[in-house]
Structure 1
């Protein structure tokens, strides 16, 4: 009998025909053995459905629904999950083989942990690469910004208590809002200091779309959690003012840089004429 707690891995998929197989293989190949894999087809096109049908033999369950958005797809998959722990994975990303084992062990070792994330390899469409290091932290930290990757691990009991992802949020930032509620009762988001996740930075990704609507989404989050922000008012105001100050400083630097370039361009011919006249 397997004594490891069951881990349920939920993979919502919407038209990710190019990447879904790599995502599924990455969770199949995890060193953590006691797991189930649930794909939620969120109204994908015919081409993606063919690939999902081919993958069905590799997984435990394929749920098909009309397109309802990522939050709903995750909630439906988690509702069906039997695991103590839940890992959500976007279908265009993938994990390194040891993430699940290290994440579950973190929960077992530290009772305060509510969420486990890790450093992430960033994969850009132009083949450029980078590393992102989420900060982790507690409620006071997550009220200021998202502290974890969207693909992260948490307990199903905590998901149930906070009533899952907000299904009204279909334009992004639903991970951050969920994490606020997850940490509102205490605990912390823990960061594994290894690059165990691979995150694709795509132009039309949910995150990119969210950044184009970020002020509307921020307004929604701030108002929804007004009481928490009032409770942590001083730290939050200092954070906002610090961010505004950084942005203004950056604008000033860019303006000076532009003015220098314009001045150099205008004066260059004059310097050339002056040199000829010497």
Structure 2
């Protein structure tokens, strides 16, 4: 029998993106899933979730907007599965992703996959890819202390990890995932699954990973002090990917997405673009 996997999804006012994620979860070949959606005091997601009654979905409505790290912590607190899988509400999982991750974690405690960084445009009520970039790097713990290539969306880990290291650190905010990876790596077995089973939504022309760099600096400094990382750069994410020591870590991977969009049910539910 498949062990239960709890999928923790924080969300805030992105019904269309969340709908596509639910559609991708409904297509998973791994079926024993508990879906925990933490609505961070945004618009109701109940009508959307009712369109996916075959999924075991629990919605947690936050009484106030606590931001994404607190929302994830709340979801983890409510998780019942032996394993937890994290996913942002605007990212997508290819149908075999969770099965691949469960297979990969047999001799590990946390596994993370390669991803495709995808720029989407809404068209006719569905997101279509405008550009796709492979994001695959060798697992190198020392290199990960200089620049993290850990994408938390789609990662799978044993829920018992939290009994040892606690929850996600709200004090490092933007860098909660890097902090989590480093803390887990200190005491547990971590490995990369070389398959791009996650579609990481990213506006390549925007700056949602590299913008507001001065605002991010205090949190990066907190992360550095916590783990003794020294001086870390906050410059543009894609410029960092072109640096020699990061380029040298580029790895081969399996691309799993055939480009077919994830058109979600209940299209009368407005998406974030107002379609």
TM-score (normalizing by structure 2): 0.72
Bigger radius of gyration: 1
Q: Quote how far apart the aligned CAs of 1:43 are.
A: 1.0
Specify whether residues 137 and 129 from structure 1 end up closer, same or farther in structure 2 by C-alpha distance, changes over 3 A only: same
The reply on whether 1:30 has 2:24 as its aligned counterpart is no
Specify whether residues 62 and 214 from structure 1 end up closer, same or farther in structure 2 by C-alpha distance, changes over 3 A only: same
Range that drifts further, 205-214 or 27-36: 205-214
User: Is the CA contact 1:10–1:37 (under 8 Å) kept in the aligned structure 2?
Assistant: yes
Larger helix percent: 1
**Aligned-partner Cα distance in 1 for 2:136–2:150:** 5
The reply on whether 1:118 has 2:121 as its aligned counterpart is no
| Aligned residue runs from structure 1 range 2-81, under 5 A | 3-45=1-43, 48-49=44-45, 51-52=47-48, 54-55=50-51, 57=53, 58-65=55-62, 66-81=64-79
User: Is the CA contact 2:112–2:152 (under 8 Å) kept in the aligned structure 1?
Assistant: no
Q: Deviations over 1:135-177 (max 9, x none)?
A: 252532321222321202211111332112112244x221111
TM-score (normalizing by structure 1): 0.71
**Aligned-partner Cα distance in 2 for 1:37–1:222:** 33
1:159 is matched with which residue: 147, 162, 165? Answer: 162
Query: Which 5+ residue runs of structure 2 have no aligned equivalent?
Result: 123-128, 233-239, 245-275
Specify whether residues 199 and 154 from structure 1 end up closer, same or farther in structure 2 by C-alpha distance, changes over 3 A only: same
**Aligned-partner Cα distance in 2 for 1:50–1:118:** 31
**Aligned-partner Cα distance in 2 for 1:55–1:40:** 17
Query: What SS does the corresponding residue of 1:213 show, helix, strand or coil?
Result: helix
Q: Quote how far apart the aligned CAs of 1:130 are.
A: 2.1
**Aligned-partner Cα distance in 2 for 1:25–1:100:** 14
Q: Which residue matches 1:141?
A: 143
Q: Deviations over 1:220-257 (max 9, x none)?
A: 1111112xx48xx9xx9xxxxxx7xx59xxxxxxxxxx
Q: Quote how far apart the aligned CAs of 1:181 are.
A: 0.7
Q: Which residue matches 1:265?
A: none
**Aligned-partner Cα distance in 1 for 2:61–2:209:** 24
Number of aligned positions between the proteins: 226
- How well do the aligned residues superpose, as a CA RMSD in angstroms? 2.9
Q: Which residue matches 1:207?
A: 209
Q: Deviations over 1:168-215 (max 9, x none)?
A: 244x2211111111111253331323x311111137786345656343
User: Is the CA contact 1:13–1:90 (under 8 Å) kept in the aligned structure 2?
Assistant: yes
User: Is the CA contact 1:56–1:62 (under 8 Å) kept in the aligned structure 2?
Assistant: no
